[in-house]
Structure 1
Amino acid sequence: MEAPAEQAAQRALARRLRGAAGLAALAGLAWVARDVPAALGGRLSGARAERAARSPQFRDGAFRNRASTRTMAGSPDRNLVRELIFGKQKRRPTAAVPLVRPADPPAAATDRELGVVWYGHASALIEIEGHRVLVDPVWSDRCSPSALLGPRRLHEPPVGLHELPTVDAVVISHDHYDHLDMATVRALTAGQSAPFVVPLGVGAHLERWGVPEDRIVELDWAESHRIGGLTITATAAQHFSGRGLRRDGTLWSSWVVAGAHRRVFYTGDSGYFDGYAEIGAEHGPFDVTLIQIGAYDRAWPSIHMFPEEAVAAHLDLRGGLLLPVHWATFNLALHDWSEPVDRLWAEAKARDVRLAVPRPGERVVVDDPPAVDGWWQSIA
């Protein structure tokens, strides 16, 4: 048995160690939290603010949709917070999401070959006529300004950012955290030389994160930017924007990526609206459409599409192959994890729409897509 003095000394040492551990934990939290203000992004000022104010989409101090929309609404028969905590929905897969390392384009691929690699959620690589366009890349563990709080990934990225091929452009649809991620942008700024093509105002975030001004291309709806043989055009969407408490200080957009022979459309986030038919008439037909299908709810029907509306949008756009995005990776709504793609598959069959549902990382050749095999159903 130890002497009382030795026991007292050990207790004092234990208290000091616990105190040190607590200070270390607080220091760690402070270190993590220091990036939160930066992750919120920048504010429009100077020439950037003046240009935003001249946009037809900018009215009464903010960007607006063409039609009146609501981003969130309560319902007298529902408590969304209670559903989120106690709901019986199966919002996570029951096993690991199968990942695929993207196959390289075949050596015999022609300039007319069109491929898409979906990395999860809305992140995808468009391979078009010898060019590569990366859309909405998010590689962080959470879609949040904090590394400790916010929706966490349900699967890892299928490849590391450093393993991406050289890209010709990085296209961002809007500034929400699940589409615009500070850590990913900083890594791409250091590891790639491509320009960031973004909606009006989003350049303020990029500038704060160290993206050189000559690599920032900001576009209003109907404006285009040429990169090699590609034309990248910002087109209308029905959504909203905001990081932190300020809403709609930057524009949101859908995108057309067009080469000499092939055309791709990406919705970004949007509710279903008549703009899709207009885009299809002006810019279509499209060889493939990348369409948002997840994170919907009747509490916010104006700004995210239901799966059936995604099929309707694809038809309005005069699309060939439909490749769904914005599902599987983050929990951002109350529906079951697999519900978006189950409903989409049923509607696509009912309306005779060509569909590809790749595993994250799987390369889809648009002219020869893999058959839909229901891979997600065994882990739903």
Structure 2
Amino acid sequence: MKRFKRITKGVIVFLLCIMAVLAVVTYFYMKQPQFGALPEGERLERIKKSAHYKDGKFRNLVEKPTLSEGYSFTGEIWEAITKKFPRTEPVDVLPSVKTDLKAISRDRNVIVWFGHSSFFLQVNGVRILVDPVFSGRIFPLPGKPDAYKGTDIYSVEDMPEIDYMLLSHDHYDHLDYETAKALQPKVKYVVCGLGAGAHYEKWGYTGQQIIEKDWGEQVDVKPGFTIFAENTHHESGRGFKGSQALWLSFYIQSPGMNVYYSGDGGYSSRFKEIAEKHPPIDWAIMECGQYNKAWQSVHELPEEVAKATAELKAKNLLPVHHSKFTLGKHPWDEPLKEITRYSQDKNYRLATPMIGEVVNLDDSTQVFKQWWKNIK
């Protein structure tokens, strides 16, 4: 019995030592710059004054469980490890177009989508870059997920000088360390939620470049041109402590064109409210992809995207958050198939450009192919 107790005690000590070593290794690994920084000092004091920051973290307007009823975190993790879902990424190389962004005249109103939620928007001569991820990866650890073949064709070097870079939230698939750091000399201003400026500051951005906003606040670009920071129902975080930087959607109002970008987030009443608050929306750029019934509260399903777009009273819909990385269980092309199906007989027009294809915002006759068909 004594020998058994000695062995048991030795095993426990050994396991505790292993756990301690792993904790130390993890601590120092998380100090690497790609994980960003938590807000502190004056930035943290400003955050604490926000009505949306309570008990040490940012909150959604209506709080509800991240996981839908009937699902569990352990069950979801176990299913992800043990079950293989069909066609979650394409076998074929996806078609794309390499557009010379620097050659696009300032007098054109255009969008160029780079896959997932990254896109270039030019309206009334203002160049805007949204949630850029050009490293081909969306997680700072070895292994999947990587960008699909044919999708990672743009780089920081391809970007023109940017007036405003917008960040919806600080998850890795929207805020990429390598991309953000390399873009710093090209970006005049970055507009992000409260707290997210800590990441950019750590990565070499100056205080003059960083504009942090709370929900309902705005950035006055020039007469008649305003960027509004609006709410969404989501979360944030790059380390163990989550929801320390606010997540945003954006309403961009310009003299000749109004654009709304949803960012990530589950369906809520905000779409009706935004339509009531702001002038008519010409283009709605909506998250549509990497969804899951289990995570429906923080990622819309395609039928909800169609419903939300109709409630926004948008004239045109461009779905994003798909066709570059696999983060959901659905077939890679399902978001495009489903939003096409749900958009039939709606009052808005659906735009489904290839990666890199120029979307002419003023041209209501532009035709978009269903480029995903017949791709394995």
> Does 2:87 align with 1:93?
no
Residue from 172, 189, 193 that aligns with 1:195:
189
> Does 2:151 align with 1:160?
no
Structure 2: stretches of 5+ with no match in the other structure: 1-24
Map 1:300-379 → 2, pairs under 5 A: 300-368=295-363, 370-379=366-375
Query: Distance in 2 between the 1:55 and 1:306 partners?
Result: 30
TM score, norm. by length of structure 2: 0.86
Equivalence for 2:267: 272
Query: Distance in 1 between the 2:87 and 2:345 partners?
Result: 25
Equivalence for 2:6: none
Given that 2:165 and 2:187 are in contact with CA atoms closer than 8 Å, whether structure 1 keeps it comes out as no
**CA deviation vs aligned residue, 1:100-133 (integer Å, no higher than 9, x gap):** 01266998x784x421100110000111011111
Given that 2:129 and 2:162 are in contact with CA atoms closer than 8 Å, whether structure 1 keeps it comes out as yes
**CA deviation vs aligned residue, 1:29-82 (integer Å, no higher than 9, x gap):** x9xx96862111111111110111111111111100011222345627x94345
Equivalence for 2:9: none
Residue from 211, 217, 222 that aligns with 1:223:
217
Equivalence for 2:15: none
Distance 1:105 1:153, change over 3 A: closer
Map 1:53-132 → 2, pairs under 5 A: 53-72=48-67, 75=71, 79-85=75-81, 86-102=83-99, 111=107, 113-132=108-127
* Matched position secondary structure for 1:173: coil
What is the deviation of 1:144?
A: 1.1
For 1:136, the aligned partner's letter is D
Query: Distance in 2 between the 1:264 and 1:37 partners?
Result: 36
Query: Distance in 1 between the 2:317 and 2:272 partners?
Result: 16
**CA deviation vs aligned residue, 1:335-370 (integer Å, no higher than 9, x gap):** 110111100000111424300101001110123253
* Matched position secondary structure for 2:373: helix
> Does 2:238 align with 1:243?
yes
Aligned residues: 344
* Matched position secondary structure for 2:121: strand
For 1:378, the aligned partner's letter is N
Residue from 245, 248, 256 that aligns with 2:251:
256
Equivalence for 1:9: none
Distance 1:83 1:286, change over 3 A: same
TM score, norm. by length of structure 1: 0.85
* Matched position secondary structure for 1:195: strand
Residue from 124, 139, 144 that aligns with 1:144:
139
Query: Distance in 2 between the 1:201 and 1:243 partners?
Result: 12
For 1:376, the aligned partner's letter is W
Equivalence for 2:286: 291
Given that 2:284 and 2:316 are in contact with CA atoms closer than 8 Å, whether structure 1 keeps it comes out as yes
For 2:206, the aligned partner's letter is P
Q: Percent identity?
A: 35
What is the deviation of 1:232?
A: 1.1
Structure 1: stretches of 5+ with no match in the other structure: 1-29
Given that 1:103 and 1:362 are in contact with CA atoms closer than 8 Å, whether structure 2 keeps it comes out as no
Find the structure with the greater CA-based Rg.
1
For 1:88, the aligned partner's letter is F
* Matched position secondary structure for 1:314: helix
- The alignment yields a C-alpha RMSD, in angstroms, of 2.2
For 2:256, the aligned partner's letter is H
Query: Distance in 2 between the 1:211 and 1:105 partners?
Result: 23
For 1:130, the aligned partner's letter is G
* Matched position secondary structure for 1:47: helix
Distance 1:34 1:187, change over 3 A: farther
For 1:45, the aligned partner's letter is E
> Does 2:145 align with 1:173?
no
Distance 1:94 1:67, change over 3 A: same
Query: Distance in 1 between the 2:106 and 2:87 partners?
Result: 43
Question: Which stretch of the first structure deviates more once superposed, 263-272 or 157-166?
Answer: 157-166
Distance 1:150 1:64, change over 3 A: farther
Query: Distance in 1 between the 2:370 and 2:79 partners?
Result: 28
Question: Which stretch of the first structure deviates more once superposed, 78-87 or 237-246?
Answer: 78-87
**CA deviation vs aligned residue, 1:222-249 (integer Å, no higher than 9, x gap):** 1111224531110010000011111111
What is the deviation of 1:378?
A: 1.4
What is the deviation of 1:280?
A: 1.2
